[in-house]
Amino acid sequence: MEVAEGRGAYQTARKAVLSMKPEEIVRAVTASNLRGFGGAGFPTGKKWGFLPKDSKKPVYLVINADEGEPGTFKDRYIMERDPHLLIEGIITSAFAIGSHKAYVYIRGEYVQPFKRLQTAVDEAYQKGYLGKRIFGSSYDLDLVVHRGAGAYICGEETALLESLEGKRGLPRLKPPFPAVVGLFGCPTIINNVETLSCVPFIVKNGPEWFAGLGSPGNGGTHLFSVSGHVKKPGVYELPMGTLLREIIYRHAGGVPGDRRLKAVIPGGISAKILTAEEIDVKMDYEGLRDAGTMLGSAGVIVMDETTCMVKALYTACKFFAHESCGQCSPCREGTGWAFKIVKRIYGGQGSVRDLDTLLAIAKGMEGRTICVFADAAAWPIQSYIEKFRVEFEEYIKKRER
């Protein structure tokens, strides 16, 4: 706490609670073009505006710290290395939306981040920054850190709410949306760790400053998790709209051993893959959408020429088959069926016809379930086979002989 306060921590939250009106903060966040950094990219201020104005029920703020997307490890850095920044963002945001109870739902496997965040929360309570009459004001806020049990599906916001209520983490039908009927049936805002960590900077420096850091409609900077075949894997904070090529070759040092780049996943394992010829693309929501993929969680996974795309798809399909919650039959049956076929291909027992079967399965999964898990499982199948079909066919034929 002493180190954090020495760097100015909680001054912005103090200013917000003592001298700003909640609607001022909401307007600033809206004008900043802050998007949700959990994957969907929905405008944060607009989401806050969906809360009913006349509800007599309590309003909850829920922070999604599940971060189960393979290739993504940015929220972990915030919780491990600057947890007080997140808490300050929570205080400021909770005050803005009229919430007096906030929950951080953290991934069960994140033991070290949990310990550090919980320690920071305890320190904030001791200083009077959480609890009753924070900063000497009339505003009360309690913050609970809740550990999940290791289910990828609980990163989906409504499954997260079900888990937080003590039930099995199954996604809910929408509408109603959480802003109207959320945690315990009350109005609820769910935001990602990185998203709320940006709020203090917006309040301190102004929405125009934040919006100017990024690209049109995509305010601020983003934490990009870069892994795979690069010389300098890690987390890089860069302006929204930075070219993917720049991230790989300038910041992450390029491909080791001067090997050729083969493919890149730009937004976590769910995102459709890009070939080496497609990396001159802006890393923001619109840029990647126009390229036929998505920014998602900004988990950049780099693959060089030594990568076997059949094995890569095998790994992805195995993950999705294991993590499907099983609530919707297209997802439950589709992920398992696809994995069995890819496993057979990878083991040398496949046929070229299997590729068309996989594409048909993916098409039958996409857009037909309660949440987008089935879509996320279908997209790697579609993009890997469509962009590297020759390699898949050669792999199959080589083993047929």
Last residue of a domain, one of 161, 186, 213: 213
- Whether 267 and 298 have beta carbons less than 8 Å apart is answered as yes
pLDDT at 55: 87
H/E run at residue 62 = strand 60-65
The C-alpha atoms of residue 293 and residue 265 are separated, in whole angstroms, by 9
pLDDT in tens, 250-267: 999 999 998 999 999 999
As a whole number of angstroms, the distance between CA 345 and CA 364 comes to 20
pLDDT of 37 higher than 80: yes
Average pLDDT over residues 354-375: 96
- Decide if pLDDT at 399 tops 90: no
Is residue 281 domain-shared with residue 315, that is, in the same domain? no
Whether 195 and 245 map to the same domain: the answer is no
Q: What local confidence, expressed as pLDDT, does residue 160 receive? A: 97
Region 379-391 average pLDDT: 97
Does one domain contain both 38 and 86? yes
Give the angle 297-142-86 at the CA atoms, nearest 5°: 30
- The CATH number given to whatever domain includes residue 347 is 1.20.1440.230
Q: What is the mean pLDDT of the chain?
A: 96
Structure pTM? 0.94
Place of tokens 């305890």: 122
Are 239 and 188 in the same domain? no
DSSP state of 35: B
pLDDT at 305 (0 to 100): 97
Identify the three-state secondary structure at position 63: strand
DSSP per residue, 81-131: H-HHHHHHHHHHHHHHHT-SEEEEEE-TT-HHHHHHHHHHHHHHHHHTSSB
The answer to whether residues 15 and 67 belong to one domain is yes
Peptide bond into 175 cis (omega under 30): yes
Transcribe 188-230 into DSSP letters.
Answer: EEEEEHHHHHHHHHHHHH-HHHHHHHSBTTB-SEEEEEEEES-
The residue among 163, 178, 213 that closes a domain is 213
The tally of domains found in the chain comes to: 3
Question: Which residue, chain included where needed, has tokens 């951080």?
Answer: 104
Both 260 and 335 in a single domain? no
Q: What pLDDT band is residue 38 in, cutting at 50, 70 and 90?
A: confident
Q: CB of 309 within 8 A of CB of 392?
A: yes
Q: In this predicted structure, what is the pLDDT of residue 400?
A: 67
H helical segments located in 235-284: 244-246
Mean pLDDT of 143-163: 96
Please compute the mean of the pLDDT values over residues 165-189 and round it to a whole number: 96
* pLDDT of res. 398: 87
Contact predicate 278/252, CB 8 Å: no
- Residues 237, 104 share a domain: no
Peptide bond into 176 cis (omega under 30): yes
The per-residue pLDDT for range 184-199, each reduced to its tens digit, is: 999 999 999 999 999 9
Chosen domain end from 304, 327, 349: 304
Token output for 377 = 């499982």
Q: Percentage of the chain with pLDDT > 70?
A: 100
Q: Residue 285 maps to which CATH number? A: 3.10.20.600
CATH code for the domain of 151: 3.40.50.11540
Quick one: 346 and 372 in the same domain? yes
Residues in the chain: 401
- Residue 100 and residue 243 in one domain: no
Q: Residue 68 is part of which domain span?
A: 2-213
325-335 mean pLDDT: 96
Q: Given pLDDT bands bounded at 50, 70 and 90, which one contains residue 40?
A: confident
161 and 237 together in one domain: no
Summarize the confidence of residues 376-390 as an average pLDDT: 97
Residues 69 and 194 occupy one common structural domain: yes
Q: What is the arithmetic mean of pLDDT over 102-116?
A: 96
Instruction: Determine the average pLDDT of the residues in 128-151.
Output: 96
- The reply to whether 104 and 160 lie within a common domain is yes
H/E stretch holding 239 reads strand 234-239
pLDDT at residue 401 is higher than 60: no
